[in-house]
Amino acid sequence: DAKTTQPNSMESNEEEPVHLPCNHSTISGTDYIHWYRQLPSQGPEYVIHGLTSNVNNRMASLAIAEDRKSSTLILHRATLRDAAVYYCILISGYGGSQGNLIFGKGTKLSVKP
């Protein structure tokens, strides 16, 4: 699976937007971009995923660069509950090893009140 690169940590103020970047310069044409987050002492939580077009859901938005070599997870208004480690991972749409999520170190997001 292609690798991703994320900043180790980021800080945000409550109720402000947060843009979490992810670089994946070796992404292949069949790789989907997935984001998960993990709050302290809890299991990972699916956030959003996309292939080529920008995606929105109730939790966040995903902006994907035109060349797909980078993406940005956007939290429109950060809350204290959004403080977590955010993982950007690539998952092959063709024959990838089922369930084999390779989490890197992710970005630890801190939210200040």
State how far the Cα of 38 lies from the Cα of 1, in Å rounded to an integer. Answer: 21
**Binding flags for another protein, 14-33, as an x/- string (CB under 8 A):** ------------------x-
| Tokens (6 digits) for 6 | 């994320």
Nearer to another protein, 13 or 56 (CB): 56
Please name the residues in contact with 64: beta carbons below 8 A apart, sequence gap of 6 or more. Answer: 33, 50, 51, 52, 53, 54, 55, 71
Q: Under a CB-based contact definition with an 8 Å cutoff, are residues 93 and 30 in contact? A: yes
Could you tell me which stretch among 5-13, 14-22, 73-81, 96-104 binds another protein (CB under 8 A)? 96-104
Nearer to another protein, 67 or 94 (CB): 94
Contact residues: another protein, CB under 8 A? 32, 34, 41-46, 49, 51, 91, 93-94, 96-104
